[in-house]
Amino acid sequence: MTVPGAIRHLQTGDLPALNDIYNHYILTSPVTFDIAPKTIDEREAWARQFETTGRHQCFVALEEEALLGWACSGPFRPKAAYETSVEVSIYLGPQAGGRGLGSILYERLFAALEGENVHRALAGITVPNPASLALHRRFGFIDVGTYSEVGQKFDHYWDVLWMEKRL
């Protein structure tokens, strides 16, 4: 496992690099069902949901000032009864995989969520994605169901496996 130089909360200055990583996956992978690259304005609007305390947080991994990836917890659904559930996501830059950064980011995120009145963390994972499934299972996520062929991208229909973790 390679320890990055820093794990900290997302800052506005991180958004261009974060957006570059996310847009890479939009253009090359089914892991996100977004089709069109995101603009910085869209990314800034997205980032406003995160705080340094509370249920919705975002952490970034840096090495020599380069953003390697991030993990975040955001609203699961907009209705009030879902408030104590969060949807988590994690993205690593294309050159950052296989170094244990996903585990380091999730350790920090889940530690930050302790005591924040979060009952469940949920993750929707486009399958196949063995690395993401293994990461989530290592953190105690269990499979709760698969939505079959719910997304169409790159002329292919994709399944999404939903996993949950009790917090």
Rounded to the nearest angstrom, the gap between the alpha carbon of residue 7 and the centroid of all alpha carbons in its chain is 15
Q: Residues with Cβ < 8 Å from 138, sequence gap 6 or more?
A: 103
**2 pLDDT more than 80:** no
The alpha carbon of 33 is separated from its chain's Cα centroid by a whole number of angstroms, namely 13
Q: What is the pLDDT of residue 20?
A: 97
Q: 82, 75 in Cβ contact below 8 A?
A: yes
Average the pLDDT over each of 3-7, 61-65, 86-90, 132-136 and give the range with the smallest value: 3-7
Q: 66 φ, ψ to 5°?
A: -90, 130
Question: According to the model, what pLDDT value does residue 110 have?
Answer: 98
Q: Between the CA of residue 157 and those of 101, 148, 151, what are the distances in Å?
A: 29, 8, 6
Chain segment 117-136, per-residue pLDDT in tens: 999 999 999 999 999 999 99
Mean pLDDT of the residues in the chain: 96
The one-letter code for the residue type at 155 is: D
Per-residue pLDDT at 3 exceeds 70: no
Q: pLDDT, tens digit, for every residue of 30-59?
A: 999 999 999 999 999 999 999 999 999 999
- The structural domains of the chain, ordered by start, are 6-166 (3.40.630.30)
Place 1 in a pLDDT band, splitting at 50, 70 and 90.
Answer: very low
The 10 Å Cβ neighbour count of residue 61 is 26
pLDDT at res. 95: 86
